Structure 1
């Protein structure tokens, strides 16, 4: 069912997943409950690369050969989903633990895997489709969900899928954001943030193309009901894109490994990984080339804006880059919950430690709400935050830093060593971070965390953790 030899394992490093995952995410977001949960809780708009890597790692754990790893990941996902419930903008309830909702997520992944092969001109043989469906049903069962939510046979699945598409899916706000806003405003991955012009040009070309390709690949009945326009030539563009991605499978082995690509997307500029240094060297050469081009073709003079003090960011920048994790323009509990979720995932915490960290962040949210929510609407706006110019280092934030230290200090020796440091920050341990000590002590850790969260200072380890996309 899982690991090497499975049908899914044969497709895991397939470059066509780059298109298929976008398509599956759109179909998920078109479900009213999933769409509501995404709008209220997800960081997919502000931190898409983080979300992509976390999804990849979760699939890798669930479809791997290690039963213990799979059971632990399933328990983690269930705890995460149990926290995602509420009411959407139309006052309709959503619950990420709803059995039908969870079955639909698995269904979109399976159907998009089959569709990506068909659209690229190399459809899976019927026996392989049957085998893949059995594996996805096993994945669904590993999550502990009710067996009757996904049909028992492949023939019954297609009837279920058609009914969901024709009767349940809607043109939700989350779906429209993914199709028409996400790629237009897609932030650069960490290693390309120093090349804003190059990234903006590439995004302006590729973003609309991905949107058109995704729309053209969606089921026709849903496109009609949702009023999604199919641009002239979009079908040809879609088939060409899937065919090109399919041909990339024949590149030398290892060139397009999903693990390698995910790691590159997650590398921070300050990482000690040799690949990060290689990409940074390439960045410097491209910057010099860009400077030479501007020298040859000078633009009209424009005064340079005043540069902030080294290491400082304004209150507005801090609110946007760090506090507003969901990107809706307000600070609410889901923003701090997103921080806790990322930290728990980085540290691979078990249930008791995870609960303590969430509780600490919940106390911090209540402290922030009491201090900053001047109009009493239950959220903190960017204006309320900037006007107060608060010192956020209250008792609850200090407690959050201490709980985070305890979670990172796996061996409980009151020091964070190199391995524990890397687990949290995904970068090498830097001696200068801890002044004269080779170990990260509790006091230094708490001081650095408070400096970042209340002093609005840029931080080499914390920016990739909480601010970068």
Structure 2
């Protein structure tokens, strides 16, 4: 295998004085782009199963599990998390070196903000190179496993090429390549040791397997169809969980005490074979970007998929109506929870759950506001110093909230504390958040948000009622609308998807 850390070669002869090419740079660049093995997998339907499996193995690492439990919004906003992850991987494995460097810098800034002590006094640091190496290792190993389980194991050359690509990905983040073994045989020894000695049955792992899949919130595409979504989830959720557990290394399943469901291995093989057969579908049906983009469409979207969305939604409503005719009333009542409805006002409790509690732990604290800042920075693709300005504004707002609402002094705000003191929510720090968000959205600095800037933040075109006579969104109007939304009383087709979409 060609190591991506090859040293610079020397040349002799007549053209020795000519500009030299760096073999290491050439080797690294050749591992990215459309011709890479990663790109062939990226639009492979089997990779959906591989990514879920890799996520579970990541969550089983004590540090990663603690970081996920403390900071991640993957339970309440899994579709948003999926979309951002896929966009990041596309940037990192794309052909453009400048885009890759910019995304690597963004990821490093994000990871540098994730450190602390989780449950059981477990310290975690997302910049720990060993932890980052394990994340990359799970993606590589799960990609290899998906091929094996679907009856198409990778040959040695392809496997080595894929491993070199993932090591180059780790190096692009600035980590020393040595944190993953330089050879494939060395990797398997490293992987077996991690599985046998380091992985644990963490809280985050149990949440993913036994809560996330069976309580997965509807993506925007199905947000208005709670009965239909709940029915599909009731069938698919346990299947996904069972398939994922069955695909994990047996030695870890035994150590973690994960259940052995009768027929699970057969079900797992069937799932991977079905995903393999799905590769025969038309290319635009299985392209990851198209599928995720469709799932994230909102009811009032005006993008290129709007017509498709309208058609699918109409058919889904008819299917939902038919399902309701044959579904017991108790099931329908349970499915209606969290449907969003068409009402324009909501209670403070609803706003707390739907918007403020980003991590879904029942409390408002800094990780919730950090998750908001992280999503807004991702949408706007901010660089320094704008990213830090927005994080700082949210941090100041958290200090204001904590001072005003944390009546029992436990360092977080409960739902009851929020509901009791909600009239005092919109203080100076929240106004500052609105102003900074306007500034970083107003890319050209003309003190108005134009159509392009608006779409970057809200992922939709201008609404009819928000623009002035010149078709622009003013600072005062933006701040007013943002504060009105964050007061928690009024639903907003514009601002709700910004922070409350799953």
TM-score range, shorter chain: over 0.9
3-state SS, counterpart of residue 120 of structure 2: coil
1:403 alignment partner in structure 2: 436
Give the Cα separation in 2 of the matches to 1:214 and 1:61: 27
Equivalent residue for 1:142? 172
Measured at CA, do residues 437 and 295 of structure 1 come closer, stay the same or move farther in structure 2, by a change above 3 Å?
Answer: farther
Contact 1:391–1:455, Cα closer than 8 Å, also in 2? no
Which residue does 1:42 correspond to in 2?
72
Equivalent residue number for residue 418 of structure 2: 385
2:260 & 2:94 partners in 1: Cα distance? 38
2:296 alignment partner, one of 266, 282, 286: 266
The answer to which of 263-272 and 186-195 deviates more is: 263-272
Q: Is structure 2 residue 477 aligned with structure 1 residue 447?
A: no
* Distance across 2 between alignment mates of 1:286 and 1:176: 32
CA distance in 1, matches of 2:211, 2:168: 35
SS in 2 for 1:94: strand
1:393-430 Cα distance to aligned partner (Å, 9 max, x none): 21000011000000000111111111100110111122
- Match of 1:389, SS state, is helix
In structure 1, C-alpha distance between the alignment counterparts of 2:377 and 2:181, rounded to whole Å: 34
Aligned to 2:453: 420
Report the CA distance between 1:194 and its aligned residue: 1.0
Shift of 1:281: 3.8
After alignment, is 153-162 or 437-446 more displaced? 437-446
Match 2:406 to one of 364, 373, 380: 373
CA offset digits 1:409-455 (Å, max 9, x no partner): 01111111111001101111223222544101111111111010014
Between the aligned partners of 2:443 and 2:140, the Cα distance in structure 1 is 37
The TM-score with structure 2 as length reference comes to 0.90
Structure 1 stretch displaced more, 277-286 or 197-206: 277-286
Name the residue aligned to 2:45. 15
Matches within 5 A, 1:150-169: 150-169=180-199
| RMSD of Structure 2 on Structure 1 (CA) | 2.1
Q: 1:84-143 CA deviation, whole Å, 9 max, x = no partner?
A: 001011012110001100000000000000000100001111100000000100000000
* Equivalent pair of 1:391/1:454 in contact (CA under 8 Å): no
How far apart in 2 are the matches of 1:167 and 1:317?
43
Is the counterpart of residue 208 in structure 1 residue 238 in structure 2?
A: yes
Distance 2:328 2:237 in 1: 29
Q: 1:283 Cα deviation (Å)?
A: 2.3
Q: Note closer, same or farther for the CA distance 1:76–1:167 as it changes in structure 2 (3 Å cut).
A: same
Q: Are positions 1:323 and 2:367 aligned together?
A: no
| Matches of 1:245 and 1:349, distance apart in 2 | 36
Is the CA contact (8 Å cut-off) linking 1:30 and 1:169 kept in structure 2?
Answer: yes
3-state SS, counterpart of residue 411 of structure 1? coil
Aligned equivalent of 2:384, options 337, 351, 362: 351
- What does residue 118 of structure 1 align with? 148
Match of 2:305 among 269, 275, 280: 275
* Cα 1:26/1:411, change in 2 over 3 Å: same
Contact 1:191 1:280 in 2 (8 A): no
Deviation at 1:280, TM superposition (A): 3.1
Secondary structure in structure 1 of the residue aligned to 2:88: helix
Three-state SS of the structure 1 residue aligned to 2:284 is coil
Q: CA 1:362 to 1:294, structure 2 compared with 1: closer, same or farther past 3 Å?
A: closer
Task: Give how far 1:310 is off.
Answer: 4.3
CA distance 1:455–1:169, change in 2 (3 Å): closer
Other-structure match for 2:18:
none
Does structure 1 residue 32 correspond to structure 2 residue 32? Answer: no
CA distance in 1, matches of 2:247, 2:343: 47
Count of aligned pairs between the two proteins = 467
Structure-1 residue corresponding to 2:493 = 460
Match of 1:432 in 2: 465
Partner of 1:193: 223
Q: Give the counterpart of 1:335 among 365, 368, 378.
A: 368
**Local SS of the residue matching 1:121:** coil
Match of 1:267, SS state, is: coil
CA 255–373 in structure 1, closer or farther in 2 if over 3 Å, else same: same
Contact persistence 1:323–1:336 (CA under 8 A): yes
Aligned mates of 2:238, 2:191 — CA distance in 1:
28
Could you tell me whether the CA contact under 8 Å between 1:171 and 1:226 is conserved in 2? yes
